[in-house]
Amino acid sequence: MSLYVEELGELVEVQEGKTRVLVPNLEKYKVEKKIEPAHAPVFYNPAMEVNRSISVLAIETYRRMFDLKTLTICEPLAGTGVRGLRYVNEINSVSKVILNDIDDRAYKLIRLNVEHLSVSDKVDVYKEDASALLLTIRSKYIIDVVDIDPFGSPIPFIHAALRAVRHLGLLCVTATDVGVLVGRYPHKCIRRYGAKPIRAVPFSKEIGLRILIGTIARIALEFDYGVKPLLAYYEGHYYRAFLLVGKDTADARECVENLGFLIYNPEDGSRTFVRTYPVAPGSGAYGPMWIGKLIDPEFARELSRVLEEYDYLKSNRKVSELVQLFREEAYLSNVVYMTSSEVCRGLGSEISASTIVSLLRELGHDACRTHFDKRAFRTTLSLSEVRKIVSLYRS
Ligand SMILES: C[S@@+](CC[C@H](N)C(=O)[O-])C[C@H]1O[C@@H](n2cnc3c(N)ncnc32)[C@H](O)[C@@H]1O
């Protein structure tokens, strides 16, 4: 199906999950045969479908864990509306979704999609600045979930999002400025996130995610709130975090306990977290950052149970693989991963991360794969201890 709409150009119907929405025909916005979603009149990125599918599962998991009978979700940077409309269509007990976009054409398309799906009783649509909306709608709705899915960094919207979401609500955040967070532009990271990133090490990707969460945690602490990751992950070109927001002083106290710095010693490859926040422990320190778990084990278990009930998402290989890995690595998600190439350097040919994990487990050590990198794994042992075990195994 396709139709032409004034200002929006040619629209086509696409299906994501169980939801059919109208989006700009991206075939018309190709540059050198590559789709450029940012060139379309309204932003729609098909590469974010996995992000949206995992979000459906994560919000449903949150709803079940907190036994919520109704759910009010606000998506203040909604683009075509596809994300929020998937929530209406695919998550149990969603009573209200508030969709907003500052752009005229996005607003028009969201309203068209609401009509297209016949969900106007459950969806309210606004055309305001995201932060202004978040700060004002608190008097009208009790918001269980705020989903911040912007271009680039989410930080400009975090203050207002934290204000808007209720105590023990869920803050969902996407960051696509991965290059900044992994230290490719260190000065930008210092400006935007107030943290020193670590560049060009095999585990930069994990540290980038920890800096993102650490910055959100420090903003929460300004209000004496706390955040706790239920699930935080990396995929391809973005970070995504689902954070529980607690508004009691006890939540803020627990949150600050999970801030710290990374000390990296390139000589022996050791990577250690220290809880000296707010004082950096020395010149070899990176951060500040979140040093606690990135994935809550109970949440990851429930997430995989939820996936079992979503056949159409379970059949997506990437989604299933991620959910499985989140479950495997949750209990060790407070130790930084290492890669098989770091372990095997100078020991002859490389053996796979899965083989190393099996070997360590056979010897009774804690070890698991990680979703960050298929050549990486987590263990409580140090790099030199793992190297010793691997070299004995090979001889
Ligand atoms: C990455 S897109 C959103 C994609 C959408 N969440 C999805 O899953 O398809 C970001 C959107 O934010 C909107 N936007 C940018 N700045 C804004 C602001 N200050 N207030 C509200 N919307 C804004 C843009 O018009 C754009 O549609």
Q: How far apart are CA 218 and CA 19, in angstroms?
A: 36
| Ligand 1 geometric centre to CA of 158 (Å) | 14
pLDDT digits (tens, 9 = 90+) for 129-177: 999 999 999 899 999 999 999 999 999 999 999 999 999 999 999 999 9
User: Measuring from atom 17 of ligand 1, which residue has the nearest CA?
Assistant: 102
For ligand 1, the distance from its centroid to the CA atom of residue 150, given in whole angstroms, is 5
Cβ distance 20 to 9 under 8 Å? no
**Per-residue model confidence (pLDDT) at position 322:** 98
Can the peptide bond before residue 197 be classed as cis, meaning omega within 30 degrees of 0? Answer: no
Q: How far is the CA of 255 from the centre of ligand 1 (A)?
A: 29
Rounded-to-integer distance, Cα 239 and Cα 173, Å: 8
Q: Are strands 71-75 and 123-126 parallel, antiparallel or unpaired?
A: unpaired
CA distances from 214 to 194, 229, 287, 291, 310 (A): 10, 10, 8, 8, 32
The pLDDT, as a whole number, for residue 112 is 98
Separation of CA 84 and ligand 1 centre (Å): 12
Closest atom of ligand 1 to CA, residue 77? 12
Residue 394 binned pLDDT confidence (cut-offs 50, 70, 90): confident
Q: What is the pLDDT of residue 240?
A: 98
Cα separation, 17 vs 303, whole angstroms: 17
- Helix runs in the chain, H state only: 49-65, 82-90, 104-116, 130-136, 155-164, 178-181, 186-193, 204-222, 249-257, 297-309, 311-314, 317-329, 340-344, 353-362, 383-394
Model confidence at 35, in pLDDT bands (50, 70, 90)?
confident
CA of 33 to the centre of ligand 1 (A): 25
**DSSP labels, 290-359:** E-S-SB-HHHHHHHHHHHHH-HHHHTSHHHHHHHHHHHHHGGGTTS--EEHHHHHTTSSS---HHHHHHH
3-state secondary structure of 73: strand
Cβ of 79 less than 6 Å from ligand 1: yes
Pairing of strands 143-148, 71-75: parallel
CATH fold for domain 298-394: Phenylalanyl-tRNA Synthetase; Chain B, domain 1 (3.30.56)
> Ligand 1, residues 49, 102, 148, 235: which to mutate, most atoms within 8 A of Cβ?
102
84 Cβ inside 6 Å of ligand 1: no
Phi, psi of 152 (to 5 degrees): 70, -125
Please indicate whether residue 129, judged by its CB atom, sits closer than 6 Å to ligand 1: yes
Q: Does residue 395 carry a pLDDT above 80? A: no
Q: Where are the domains of the chain?
A: 2-297, 298-394
pLDDT at 347: 86
pLDDT computed for residue 25 by the predictor: 94
Q: Is 114 in the pocket of ligand 1 (CB under 6 A)?
A: no
Give CA–CA dist 333/37, Å, rounded: 33
3-state secondary structure of 103: coil
The radius of gyration of the chain's CA atoms, rounded to the nearest angstrom, is 22
In tens, the pLDDT along 204-240 reads: 999 999 999 999 999 999 999 999 999 999 998 999 9
Write the residue with the smallest CA distance to atom 26 of ligand 1: 79
Long-range contacts of 269-275 (CB under 8 A, 24+ apart): 269/338, 269/342, 269/383, 269/384, 270/382, 270/383, 270/384, 271/203, 271/336, 271/338, 271/383, 273/334, 273/336
Cβ within 8 Å of residue 345, ≥6 positions away:
none
128 CA to centre of ligand 1 in angstroms = 11
Assign 393 a pLDDT band (cuts: 50, 70, 90): confident
Q: Which fold has domain 2-297?
A: Rossmann fold (3.40.50)
151 lines ligand 1 (CB under 6 A): yes
Sign of CA dihedral 149, 152, 157, 159: positive
Sign of CA dihedral 190, 196, 197, 201: positive
CA distance 325 to 48: 19
> Is the shortest distance between the CB of 78 and ligand 1 below 6 Å?
yes
**Ligand 1 site-directed mutation target among 26, 77, 83, most atoms within 8 Å of CB:** 77
Q: What is the DSSP letter of 101?
A: -
